[in-house]
A and B are shown apart, each in its own frame.
Chain A
Amino acid sequence: EVQLVESGGGLVLPGGSLRLSCAASGFTFNSHWMSWVRQAPGKGLEWVASIKQDGSGQYYVDSVKGRFTISRDNAKNSLFLQMTSLRAEDTAIYYCARDRLQGRADDYWGQGTLVTVSA
């Protein structure tokens, strides 16, 4: 059974940092692109970042470029999102998502971890 379990969310001060993790199981992790998608309270979905199977390529939404870094450890079946210079507008549930083997759609999602940026 495919499972994606996020952790690392919490309350952080503006300007602070946080590292999110996503533990993957039940599939061949290094065969899939992986992504982070967020959802601000009561709002819609926003794609944040994606990373290629071997970690050689990363893509980001403009609003997080230079502040967030997506990475993966294929030996540990784990996905990460290092977030720095956090702002109030980064407050959201952050979901880890797996791309289909053939790409171009996220076929499995974790349950999300809440990040709250507030003083």
Chain B
Amino acid sequence: EIVLTQSPATLSSSPGERATLSCRASQSVSSHLVWYQQKPGQAPRLLIYGASNGATGTPARFSGSGSGSDFTLTISSLEPEDSAVYYCQQRCDWPITFGQGTRLEIK
């Protein structure tokens, strides 16, 4: 099973700042890495697929990068509505696995 480790567990930043979230895989997942955003009481929302491709409706301030085993989700200029938990997911091999999540708090 491919284990995904996200860091940091919690990130607290201010509006307008840049946020960098990390996801590391226990083995290569090529570019088959996905990022989701989940707000309290809501279902997850697809943000990025294929490591760096923005899903329909994803704001331009969100970008993904990386390949192999190290990936990054960057939010270039934080908005208050970006407060959420962000999960990475690997779609390289079965079983599909998720990281434990990074909670992003906007001060």
Chain B residues lying within 8 Å of A50, measured Cβ to Cβ, are 96
Q: How many residues of A contact B (CB 8 A)?
A: 23
User: Which residue of chain B is the closest to A61 with respect to CB atoms?
Assistant: B95
In the complex, are the beta carbons of A105 and B95 less than 8 A apart?
A: no
Residue A27 is within 8 A (CB to CB) of chain B in the complex: no
Chain A residues lying within 8 Å of B96, measured Cβ to Cβ, are 35, 47, 50, 59
In the complex, are the beta carbons of A104 and B98 less than 8 A apart?
A: no
In the complex, are the beta carbons of A105 and B87 less than 8 A apart?
A: no
Option from A45, A103, A111 in Cβ contact (under 8 Å) with B87? A45
A-B contacts, CB under 8 A, total: 60
Option from A35, A60, A62, A104 in Cβ contact (under 8 Å) with B49? A104
Known A44-B100, A45-B98, A59-B95; contact A104-B45, beta-carbon cutoff 8 A = no
Whole-angstrom CA separation of A109 from B42 in the bound complex? 10
By size class, the interface of chain B is 20 to 34
Whole-angstrom CA separation of A108 from B45 in the bound complex? 7
Return B29 CB to nearest CB of chain A, in Å: 10
In the complex, are the beta carbons of A110 and B43 less than 8 A apart?
A: yes
Residue B97 is within 8 A (CB to CB) of chain A in the complex: yes
Residue B84 is within 8 A (CB to CB) of chain A in the complex: no
Known A44-B87, A45-B87; contact A105-B46, beta-carbon cutoff 8 A = yes
- Scoring A35, A59, A105 by chain B CB atoms within 10 A of each residue's CB, the highest score goes to A105
- For B63-93 the 0/1 string (1 means CB < 8 A from A) is 0000000000000000000000101010100
Query: A residues within 8 Å of B by Cβ?
Result: 35, 37, 44-47, 50, 59-62, 95, 100, 103-112
What 19 additional pairs, Cβ within 8 angstroms, besides A44-B85, A105-B50, A109-B43?
A37-B44, A44-B99, A44-B101, A45-B36, A45-B87, A45-B98, A47-B95, A47-B97, A59-B95, A59-B96, A61-B95, A62-B95, A95-B44, A100-B49, A106-B36, A106-B44, A106-B46, A107-B55, A111-B42
